[in-house]
Amino acid sequence: MNFKLQLNKFETITLSEMDDVKLMSRTDTKFVFNFSRLPEFLEKLSPFYKVLLIDGNLIHDYKSLYFDTEDRKFYIEHHNRRVNRNKIRFREYVGSGLTFLEIKLKNNKGKTIKKRIKVDSISEEITEQQQKYIHKIIGYPIEVSAKQWINFSRVTFVHKTQKERLTMDINLTFNNKKDEGDLKNIVIAEVKQERMSRSSDFMRVAKEMSILPMRLSKYCMSTLSLNPKLKKNRFKEKSLFINKLKLQ
């Protein structure tokens, strides 16, 4: 079953119609499963969600360049499950022609808060003005440098009646100046809500298909793959799970 055929069965929504569900402050719940299960998932979801359509396309490319400190502060804090942790990246939303400097905070209440400013293009160097913005948002001066690219394609859904967005990321690749890797045969789905609610139709369908929620950071897993000597004991279980998914 072709997942693109299933995707074409969804009602569509435009970017401007999505303004009510930007959810810059939100609760995220992630799910990871093998790409082969995607058509079945979409078939079950089509009565409940609309899919984002931009310039005739339902699948949109994202390019991201992530930054971290020399000692990998953001990676280590995530590994150590520290709350109030950050991530810094440039992200280009290829289909809409927009690029932002984005700072994500995961706070001690489990909320993801995203702050961003528009930029002309992705750069490996941070300007003085952008550095001041980072300082303002994070709350203290910090020196970061470009670490790795993470690129993927995304399908975005909006629930027809609830204030909920759903994204599915596919064809994920990552690289730095020395190495590269990919997670092309898995899907990373993320339910984005104002506050955590199990009434989500996606969560219900996932449960029916025996797919459980899983905390997963694309940045951390790609960082570990590109830098296997980094501290990783708390990510071992996730790495084993992903490797098992690849073989399905």
Whole-number Å distance between alpha carbons of 205 and 114: 28
pLDDT value, residue 1: 55
CA 179 centroid distance within chain: 21
Indicate the average pLDDT of the chain: 92
User: Which tens digit of pLDDT belongs to each residue from 79-102?
Assistant: 999 988 999 999 999 988 899 999
| Residue 109: pLDDT band with limits 50, 70, 90 | confident
Non-local (6+) Cβ contacts of 11 within 8 A are: 50, 51, 160
pLDDT surpasses 90 at 21: no
For residues 238, 240, 246 and 248, what is the CA-based torsion angle, rounded to 10 degrees?
-110
pLDDT value, residue 25: 60
pLDDT surpasses 90 at 197: no
| Residue 246: pLDDT band with limits 50, 70, 90 | confident
- Taking alpha carbons only, the member of 153, 200, 245 closest to residue 28 is 200
The mean pLDDT of 191-210, rounded to a whole number, is 87
- Inter-residue contact 185 to 246 (CB < 8 Å): yes
| Residue 15: pLDDT band with limits 50, 70, 90 | confident
Could you tell me the domains of the chain? 3-246 (2.40.320.10)
pLDDT value, residue 83: 86
Whole-number Å distance between alpha carbons of 216 and 190: 10
User: Which tens digit of pLDDT belongs to each residue from 225-245?
Assistant: 999 999 999 999 999 999 888
Joined tokens for residue 158: 């909006």
Amino acid (1-letter code) at residue 178: K
For residues 179, 185, 191 and 192, what is the CA-based torsion angle, rounded to 10 degrees?
30
User: Which tens digit of pLDDT belongs to each residue from 32-46?
Assistant: 999 999 999 999 999
The mean pLDDT of 200-204, rounded to a whole number, is 94
pLDDT surpasses 80 at 169: yes
The residue ranking higher by pLDDT, 3 or 199, is 3
The mean pLDDT of 19-38, rounded to a whole number, is 80
The mean pLDDT of 114-124, rounded to a whole number, is 96
pLDDT surpasses 70 at 26: no
The mean pLDDT of 3-28, rounded to a whole number, is 82
